[in-house]
Amino acid sequence: MSRMTDEALETMRDLEQIGVVSKQTLRDFEAQALPLPTYTAETIRGLREQLHVSQAVFAAYLNASVSTVQKWENGDKKPSGVALRLLSVIERKGLDVLV
């Protein structure tokens, strides 16, 4: 994150603590400010293998088709939107966070 983004997030968190900004507003701001990583085919395959799950199980956790996971891992398609956010969460927190 950039220095400006860090400072803006810190300010919003301070405003939430003193009651000027609601928790929901803070969450919305954080969701917009936090960058999403990009995932290569190798990164996605590596993440799945690190979690010791099959493509079918990984797809089920992501609410995606097995075909989509295969395309990501082959580099034919790149995850975006919700799938990209879920991959980011899974990478940081593991699959248990989705259960």
At residue 18 the predicted structure's pLDDT band, cuts being 50, 70 and 90, is very high
At residue 34 the predicted structure's pLDDT band, cuts being 50, 70 and 90, is confident
pLDDT over 80 at 43, yes or no: yes
At residue 39 the predicted structure's pLDDT band, cuts being 50, 70 and 90, is very high
At residue 94 the predicted structure's pLDDT band, cuts being 50, 70 and 90, is very high
Which CATH code of 1.10.260.40, 1.10.287.1080, 3.40.50.170, 3.40.50.360 fits the domain covering 41-98? Answer: 1.10.260.40
At residue 1 the predicted structure's pLDDT band, cuts being 50, 70 and 90, is low
Short-list 64, 95, 60, 67, CA closest to 81:
64
Residue with structure tokens 């917009």? 32
Domains in the chain: boundaries: 3-33, 41-98
Pair of tokens at residue 12: 């919003």
Phi-psi bin for 81: left (phi > 0), alpha (psi -120 to 50), beta? left
pLDDT digits (tens, 9 = 90+) for 70-91: 999 999 999 998 899 899 999 9
